[in-house]
Structure 1
Amino acid sequence: MTAGRLRVGGAELAWERAGSGPAVVLVHGSGDNHRSWDAVAPALAETHTVIRYDRRGHSRSSAPPGQGSIREDAADLLTVVDELAGGSAHLVGHSYGGSVVLLAAAHRPTAARSLLVHEPPLFALVDEGTRAEAGRWMRQAADLLEAGDAEAGARTFVDHVGFGPGSWAELFDDDLRATAVANAHTWLDQHRDPDRLAVDPSALAGSGVPVTVTTGTATPPTYRAVVAALREKLPGAAVARVQGAGHAPHLSHPEAYVNLLRARLRDDRRSRVLPGRDRGQGS
């Protein structure tokens, strides 16, 4: 394994790289860091070069002053691909990381050999009634963080927006909880970015980039609605399901999730499906 720091756009990103073969870049979600992929990365590294990094403002990466944006995260990802993966890679993103992956690939399709995104929180794509509950809890989490209660804000986000009721106590371990609290300031910064929930993936339609949207069969309703909306925006995308999983299969069902990823990565053509086809893949 090699590790280092990459300077990009006023930030320094901490990164790790392991394995050999075609490059795969793993992009973590809100409040996480590269360690959230610990149960997935070693198996992928048996057949691929696996690159993971802390997004700007998270853990070992720096947090430049001023309002951040998802556009900066997308530009960071493209620089990671250029500098660490030779200009093109399979891009795998969880939650907000999936939104970053979609935006980066829409800006530069040639950077993506394929895309595998798990339930990106593109709530602007769904109707107001569906997204209202998530919006209410996000506002409550932001209020708590602005009042200085990082733990309560992080817990509110995890249980009621990001992962589902009880996840803070039952799915997260001590390290994950500590990471979420430490990175809560960056989630608040994301919350203030008006573009974060409104990435439009339509530019990828017809781009030739194979797209797989992964989802859990036990995921919260808002994310099910987002997955349905993505299928309308990207009619050629595949939808692959992880049986029994929710919003974080890399944490709750890592073996099933890594098997799904390896199957999709084995041959880029397996991600190409006819418009409207749902090649669901349970594990």
Structure 2
Amino acid sequence: MMNLHPTSSGSLALPCARPAERQTVVLLHASASSGRQWDALGERLRPRFDVVAIDLHGHGHQEAWADDRAMSLDDEASLVLPVLKRAGAAHLIGHSYGGAVAMHVACRHPHLVRSLAVYEPVLFRLLADHEPQGAAIRAGLEAFSLIGFLMDGGCTTEAARTFVDYWSGPHAWDSLPPQLQRPVLASMASVCQQFHVVCDESLPSERLAGLTMASLCLSGSRTTAATARIAQLLQALMPAAQHLQLPGMGHMGPVTHAAAVNDQLAAFLDLHAHSACGPR
């Protein structure tokens, strides 16, 4: 069952020859989070857009992936595509794992994506394909190998600590209150599945270079080596996109610096919703 979080009403006037239409924004969250991550952005966009935040497999209200075969990006995309199709096309925003899903959808179904905005998509396979022996990919693989080892041994709390500290810095897990630790613990098995997905599936460089919708790639100046290098690769592979590094932020910038990140996303949407009368 797909669980959606609609958060909007009202109308939007567009400078188009045909009657004005209300456009849709779809929001995809990071691993160990949920669609609730985007509540503040949804409230901000509500007067102008229909906003749908989607819970990915094993997060929020969405059931974990339970099929015998390994989960794929297409399986995550299957939660997104019905919304895009009902809207005719939508603006797509994603953070971290949600950013990887968003980019997969944009590459596979570009006619359904009006614009694309991502904050540090975790495209580990892209990094491995370009720099298989690089220090950035090695550090990420070592962290997630440890997480998998801990999960196999039933040490879920230690796995969650390793996961959170990898993305947010030493002792980040211990600084979280129990009410924030609990959903991370509940989603750790799905987090491991998602890591295998982004390591196993590649986004061909030619597809990234061929994206024609307006695109924004955000990153933080204090992020991990892996996501910093991915941001550099995307800048080279997607020269037509807008690339911004936001000062003082790490990988969890959309959560820790939500207002500043939301400023960038709202400005991007305002510009491209007013200039685009439909998908390209």
TM-score range, shorter-chain basis?
A: 0.7 to 0.9
Deviation at 1:203, TM superposition (A): 1.2
Deviation at 1:241, TM superposition (A): 2.8
Tell me the residue number matched to 2:5.
Answer: 16
Summarize deviations over 1:213-257 as a string: whole Å, max 9, x none: 011122122211000001122111111232211111221111111
Matches within 5 A, 1:98-177: 98-126=99-127, 127=131, 128-129=133-134, 130-160=136-166, 162-170=167-175, 172-177=176-181
Matched, 1:179 2:179: no
The CA RMSD measured in Å over matched residues stands at 2.2
Tell me the residue number matched to 1:8.
Answer: none
- Could you say if the C-alpha distance between residues 16 and 198 of structure 1 is closer, same or farther in structure 2, counting changes exceeding 3 Å? same
Tell me the residue number matched to 1:69.
Answer: 72
Give me the identity figure in percent.
29
Tell me the residue number matched to 1:3.
Answer: none
Normalised by the size of structure 1, how large is the TM-score? 0.83
What is the number of equivalent residue pairs in this alignment? Answer: 257
Between the aligned partners of 1:123 and 1:270, the Cα distance in structure 2 is: 34
Secondary structure at 2:3's aligned position in 1?
strand
Structure 2 stretches lacking a partner, 5+ long: 10-21
Deviation at 1:192, TM superposition (A): 3.6
Summarize deviations over 1:66-123 as a string: whole Å, max 9, x none: 221222112322123224xx13111000001101001111111011110001111112
Matches within 5 A, 1:1-283: 12-20=1-9, 21-63=22-64, 64-66=66-68, 67-83=70-86, 86-126=87-127, 127=131, 128-129=133-134, 130-160=136-166, 162-170=167-175, 172-193=176-197, 195-196=199-200, 198-200=202-204, 202-268=206-272
- Could you say if the C-alpha distance between residues 192 and 208 of structure 1 is closer, same or farther in structure 2, counting changes exceeding 3 Å? closer
Summarize deviations over 1:159-215 as a string: whole Å, max 9, x none: 11x333333234x44333211110111112223447556333531433421111011
Query: Which of the pair is proportionally richer in helix?
Result: 2
- Could you say if the C-alpha distance between residues 147 and 70 of structure 1 is closer, same or farther in structure 2, counting changes exceeding 3 Å? same
- Could you say if the C-alpha distance between residues 100 and 194 of structure 1 is closer, same or farther in structure 2, counting changes exceeding 3 Å? closer
Secondary structure at 1:38's aligned position in 2?
helix
Between the aligned partners of 1:197 and 1:159, the Cα distance in structure 2 is: 25
Between the aligned partners of 1:270 and 1:131, the Cα distance in structure 2 is: 39
Comparing 67-76 with 112-121, greater Cα deviation is found at 67-76
Q: Which structure has the larger Rg?
A: 2
Normalised by the size of structure 2, how large is the TM-score? 0.84
Tell me the residue number matched to 1:7.
Answer: none
- Contact 1:44–1:258 (Cα < 8 Å) also in 2: no
Secondary structure at 1:61's aligned position in 2?
coil
Please tell me the residue identity of whatever aligns with 2:94: G
Between the aligned partners of 2:146 and 2:211, the Cα distance in structure 1 is: 39
Summarize deviations over 1:44-83 as a string: whole Å, max 9, x none: 2232221102112223112233221222112322123224
Structure 1 stretches lacking a partner, 5+ long: 1-11, 273-283
